[in-house]
Structure formats: C-alpha cells, structure tokens
Amino acid sequence: MNLSALYHDLGLPLPTPGEMASWDAASIGEFALPEILLMENAGREAFHVLTPMLEARRRILVIMGAGNNGGDGAALARHLLDAGHQVLVCHVKPLDTLSETSRAHAAMAAKAGVPFINLDLADNRLITPPEYRAIAHTPHCLVDALLGTGFHGALRDKELAIIRYINRMRAVATVFSLDIPSGLDGLTGLPRPEAVRADHTVTFEAAKTGLAFPHAAACTGTLHVRRIGIPAAVQTLHPPSFRLLAPQACVWPALAPDMHKGDAGRVLIFGGSQGLTGAPALSALGALRAGAGLVTVACPGALEGQIRPAFPEIMTLPLGAGTAWSNALAPACAQSVRELPQGAAIVLGPGMGRFPEARDIVETIIREKKRPPLVLDADGLSALAPAHDPNRAASLLASLREDDCITPHPGEAARILKSTTEDVQAARVESLRILTAVTRAVVVLKGAGTLIARDKSPIFVAPFAAPSLAVGGSGDILAGIIAAHLAQLRSKHPATAADAFRAVCLGVFLHGRAGKLLDEKYPHRGALAREIADAVPRVER
C-alpha cells in the first residue's frame, strides 16, 4: 500500500480553514457546483441534526453574521419555520451588504415568512419589537451563525459583546453553533480571546483542524459532522494537512487459530537503572498486552532480580554484573540486537537514566546496521538532546530510519528542540513539524490530543484526552504497545514505511482508548499504569 492510501485509511480528513475554503472554491469552480446549493445543503444538514432535539413549536433565535456562516443560518431558519417552529433572525449587518449567496438565502427565508431584524444589544438584552420579545428573550434554542471558520485574529468589540450575550443565554436556551463556535480559531481550536460555548456544533463536510483538539470540546459541546456534497475528488486533489485518527486504525490482520508465539512478534527492551527498574517492566507489560509473543528486558546484570519478579511472563537478559550502563556493555548490546529474528522490534530507553554511558549505549544500538525497527522513548531520547553534543544529536536524529519511532512528551521534545515545555505546548504542531524535518522516523508528540507524523505526511490527531493516562509509566506502556505491533508486522515480511506508520497509529489509538475505558472505571482517577496495559485487550477493534 502506498503512503497516500494508507493515510486515507487511517483517519478522517481535518482540513484547515484555508484548505476548507479551497475545497469550496474547487467544488464551485472546477466541478460547477453552485455555491447556493452548498449553502442549502448546509442548512438542511443542520436542520436534520437539530430537529430531533426540538419539541413542536419551539422558539428559535438565530444570530446571523455577515459571512457565509450567516447564510447557512438563514437557510436553516427557513427549514425550521417550515417545520412549524417560531423563528427570529437577528442580523449584525444590513442584509444588502451580505455576499450574493447569503443575500439570496436571506431573501428566500424572508419570502417564506422568517422575520429578520437588526441585532441591537442594550443592557445585555436584545432590543426587539414587542411581537418578537418572547423569541428574543426566552428562546428554547439559540443558533450561533455569527462567525465561521474563516474567522482569525482577535474578536472586535461588537463581536465579543455578541458572543458574551450568547453565552449568557445558555441559562435559558440550548446553543447550537453552525460549522464552528463563533470566536474559536479553526486552526488551533483556541478562543480568540473568548468563544461561544455551544451545547452542540454541526460542522460541514469535515471537522476543521481546531475542532479535533481536546481543548476545543469545552466550546463545541457535542460535535456533529455532516457532508454537504463536496466531491470526494476535490479532497483527493487537495489533500488536507491533518487527519483525525479513527477506529479504522485498528484494522489489523486476522489472528490465525494455529498461530505460534514466534508468529506474534518478539520485543527486546533496553532499560532500567538503579531506582528505575519499573519502567522497562511496564514497557514489557504493554508489549505483552498488545499481543507480542515473547518479550525480553535487557538490563544491567545486578538489576535483573528487581525486574524479573515484576511479571513472570517477562524474560530478562542480564548484561554484565553492575547496576549501571557502561561502555563495556556495548558489544553485548549490539550482539543481542543482531541476533533478533525478523519479526522483532526494540524499545530503547525506559528507565535507562540520562548518564553519558547510557547515551553511548543508545547510540550503539541506533547505529547498528543489522537491527530491527526501534521505539526510542523516555531516557533514550536524551541522546537526541543537543545540550550534550549538538553534532552528535543531529547525526543520531538523521540516522533513525523510516521504520523507527520516537515518542517524546512535551518536556523531552523541548530538550531536543532547545526550547521549553511551555513553548512546545503553545506550538505543538510547529514543534512536531520541526522534529519531522530532521528525522525519517515517525514522531509521536505525546499529550492530550497526541500528534503523529513523519516528514511530509499529514499530521494525525489522536482524539483522546484521558485523565487516567496522566500517570507515571503511561508512556512506557505506550512504547511497548507500539513495539509489539512493529514486531508483528515484521513477522511475515520486512516492514515498510507504511507498515511502521500503521503500527504507530494503532499503538497510539489503543493506548488512548484504553485510557478512556479506565476513565469510565475510575472517574476520579486512581488507575495504575499497569491497568492501562491490562485494558488494551478489551479495546474493540
């Protein structure tokens, strides 16, 4: 399978606002779909989403902006009126100043009997003629059609006042946003500086990038995605920069009833140091729970007695007689790597410590030519930090292969990028792209809404924000899960770049879903890292 087909299979499109505008333009210009039809489709899809939430003859207030989002609101208002509801549209700009398409839909709605009035706020209330005060002051539903995905920058004073008014109305009305809650940045999912806090958002054709980030949920409420007729060919011709990691990432070869443990993949984990022996044990448990047939922890010899009792299913490979990694262990490490069968993968780093000798071992294994793919995690990532030796770190990043994976959390990414954790969190997408530009490996930037990409690939957003995953050892479990699937793919044939990317996406998806299962079991947290691994086999595929 080529990479483009793989990316399509693993996730749903998440166009940026600019890409969505290009889809609209291509549909209208290249495929001759009238803009008025696309707006009508948006209005009807919004109607179909909203109608099941409404009882008969509800009072519905529509706040209509000046852009196409307002036109969608006008189309929706007409359908709601035809369904027997009492509807009032308050528009922020004179109707004759709207775009041609929005003006046409406003005219159709007005001709059908929908009342339109200028939006006028005073003392936090709408100023309306007496006959509309019940709808304006005590609506059952308020439709937010003020600002669409084209909004960027900062809100103007009038827009901010309207958004605050809408949010106050949540006390009496269900708030229903069209395409995106007004004031929310469609690229980042962040309020600018405030945004409508909707109960429901219906977004058209595809969720926009910002809507997929977990922090946007506080504004979107329940998110509904509805197609409006943009041809699939348009998306193929103009592929999005982001994709939403979806359940199809769990599609995996069927299990053979007569399978042998040797067919299930072998994982070798290099890790552990004094006081940090739990990390490689948890990584091993993650690999076992993800289905690996054989899992071994390679560690300084004197630590074997601390790791072996953790789980009897784990095998150990004691190296030397001490408690710390040393350069004297490098030949044995390289030899153990060379002896691995084809269906194998390596986890490199959990609990190794950040000592120079540990970094030397990491470099030895990375540069070993006859090695299987590896997951570089935790302390192993310290070798990539330029603070120790910039040239060496850059060379190691460049030496990683396309079937390898690095899994930094924001603090580890900050050390690699010579930045701060706060800066990485404030610019997660940009940080990820910098990392993918300097290595061929798949990069997993962990955190709520984990990001996955390789150089020139779309960025995959994992739609998980699970408090149960915020616990020490969670990342070690993830590394083991990913390695197990890398090994399983190699058990039948040499892994390709597509195989490696699929294995990483599957690992992240299973880890996230396991966290959600634990959130249900422990709604106030308290799950152990080992329970994340234990939940993995229960994730539906």
Mean pLDDT, residues 188-207: 96
- Residue 212: which H helix or E strand, with range? none
Q: Which residues pair with 60 in a beta bridge?
A: 87, 141
Provide CB contacts within 8 A for 505, sequence distance 6+.
10, 11, 245, 249, 452, 460
User: What CATH number is attached to the domain comprising 296?
Assistant: 3.40.1190.20
Q: 3-state SS string over 426-451?
A: HCHHHHHHHHHHCCCCEEEECCCCCE
Chain centre to alpha carbon of residue 50: 26
pLDDT on residue 153: 86
pLDDT at 176: 98
Distances (CA, A) of 408 to 60, 335, 375, 414, 499: 48, 27, 11, 9, 21
Query: Is 223 in the same domain as 267?
Result: no
Q: How confident is the model at residue 499 (pLDDT cuts 50, 70, 90)?
A: confident
Residues 489 and 494: their CA atoms lie apart, in Å, by: 8
Residue 250 lies in a domain: no
SS (HEC) of 278-301 = HHHHHHHHHHHHCCCCEEEEEEEH
In this structure, what are the phi and psi dihedrals at residue 58, rounded to the nearest 5 degrees?
A: -85, 155
Structure confidence by residue, pLDDT tens digits, 310-325: 899 999 999 999 999 9
Do β-strands 222-226 and 116-118 pair in parallel, antiparallel, or remain unpaired?
A: unpaired
- Which residues have CB under 8 Å from 536's CB, separation 6+? 286, 289, 290, 481, 510, 511, 514
Residue 124 banded pLDDT, cuts 50, 70, 90: confident
Which tens digits make up the pLDDT trace of 405-452? 999 999 999 999 999 999 999 999 999 999 999 999 999 999 999 999
**Rounded CA separation 50/18 (Å):** 27
Domain holding 97, by residue range, is: 17-239
Residue 459: what pLDDT?
97
Last residue of a domain, one of 239, 270, 303: 239
Tokens in use for 149? 């995905």
Residue 501: inside a domain, yes or no? yes
* Position 174 in a domain: yes
pLDDT of residue 305: 93
Structure-block tokens of residue 474: 């969670």
Q: Which helix (H) or strand (E) holds 397?
A: helix 390-399
> Does residue 86 come out as left (phi exceeding 0), alpha (psi in the -120 to 50 range) or beta?
beta
Per-residue pLDDT of 337-371, as tens digits, reads 999 998 999 999 999 999 999 999 999 999 999 99
Banded pLDDT at 262 (limits 50, 70, 90): confident
Matching residue, tokens 């329970």: 531
End-to-end CA separation in angstroms for the chain: 21
Tell whether 181 is covered by a domain.
yes
398: helix, strand or coil: helix
pLDDT tens readout for residues 24-38: 999 999 999 999 999
pLDDT at 537 over 90: yes
Of the candidates 341, 392, 350, 387, which has an alpha carbon nearest to the alpha carbon of residue 367?
A: 392
What are phi and psi for residue 505, nearest 5 degrees? -60, -40
Considering the domain architecture, whether residues 296 and 234 belong to the same structural domain is answered as no
Same domain (yes/no): 285, 181: no
- Which pLDDT belongs to residue 470? 95
Q: Does residue 53 form part of some domain?
A: yes
Most confident of 110-119, 253-262, 302-311, 483-492: 110-119
Name the maximum alpha-carbon separation found in the chain. Answer: 88
Residue 225 scores a pLDDT above 80 = yes
pLDDT in the model for residue 157:
92
Residues 340 and 449 grouped into a single domain = yes
Tokens of 283: 């990584």
Position with higher pLDDT, 11 vs 367: 367
For residue 193, whether the previous peptide bond is cis, meaning omega lies within 30 degrees of 0, is yes
What is the Cα–Cα distance from 415 to 421, expressed in whole angstroms? 8
- Of 487, 423, 474, the closest CA to residue 448 belongs to 474
- End-of-domain residue from the set 187, 206, 239: 239
Give yes or no: residues 149 and 82 share one domain: yes
Examine residue 255 and state whether it is found in any structural domain, yes or no: no
Give pLDDT, residue 382. Answer: 94
C-alpha neighbours within 13 Å on the C-beta side of residue 185: 13
Q: Are residues 187 and 277 in the same domain?
A: no
pLDDT band at 493 (very low <50, low <70, confident <90, very high): low
CB 229 within 8 A of CB 252: no
**What percentage of residues in the chain have a pLDDT greater than 70?**
99
Share of the chain above pLDDT 90, in %: 87
- The answer to whether the CB of 521 falls within 8 A of the CB of 527 is yes
Residue 492: predicted pLDDT: 66
Domains held by the chain: number: 2
Q: Read off the pLDDT band of 304 (50, 70, 90).
A: very high
Q: What is the pTM of this model?
A: 0.93
Q: Which residue has the higher pLDDT, 498 or 199?
A: 199
Do 265 and 231 sit in the same domain of this protein? no
Lowest mean pLDDT among 126-130, 195-199, 225-229, 435-439: 126-130
**Domain shared by 282 and 221, yes or no:** no
**How far is it, in rounded angstroms, from Cα 382 to Cα 390?**
12
Does residue 249 fall inside a structural domain? no
Is residue 267 domain-shared with residue 203, that is, in the same domain?
no
pLDDT of residue 221: 97
pLDDT at 47: 98
CA pair distance 78, 31, nearest whole angstrom: 27
pLDDT band at 372; cut points 50, 70, 90: very high
Residue-wise pLDDT for 126-149, tens only, equals 888 999 999 999 999 999 999 999
Residues 6 or more apart whose CB falls under 8 angstroms from that of 92 comprise 63, 64, 65, 66, 70, 119, 146, 158, 162
Residue 391: per-residue pLDDT: 95
Kindly indicate the confidence band of residue 256, based on its pLDDT and cuts at 50, 70 and 90: confident
3-state secondary structure of 458: coil
Instruction: Work out the pLDDT band at 231, boundaries 50, 70, 90.
Output: very high
Q: At residue 10, does pLDDT exceed 90?
A: no
Confidence of residue 496 (pLDDT cuts 50, 70, 90): confident
Q: For all residues of the chain together, what is the average pLDDT?
A: 94
Are 465 and 375 part of one and the same domain? yes
Distance CA 349, CA 408 (A): 11
CA 53 vs CA 56, 79, 88: distances in Å: 10, 15, 18
Same domain (yes/no): 278, 173: no
Neighbouring C-alpha atoms within 13 Å toward the C-beta of 151: 33
How far is the C-alpha of 259 from the C-alpha of 33, rounded, in Å? 53
Give the model's pLDDT for residue 375: 98
pLDDT exceeds 60 at position 1 = no
Position 387 in a domain: yes
Is the peptide bond prior to 231 cis by the omega test (within 30 degrees of 0)?
no
In this structure, what CATH number is given to the domain that contains residue 221?
3.40.50.10260
CA 371 to CA 346: how far, in whole Å?
Answer: 9
* Same domain (yes/no): 227, 267: no
What is the rounded average pLDDT of the residues 378-401? 94
In the beta sheet, which residues pair with residue 347?
269, 375
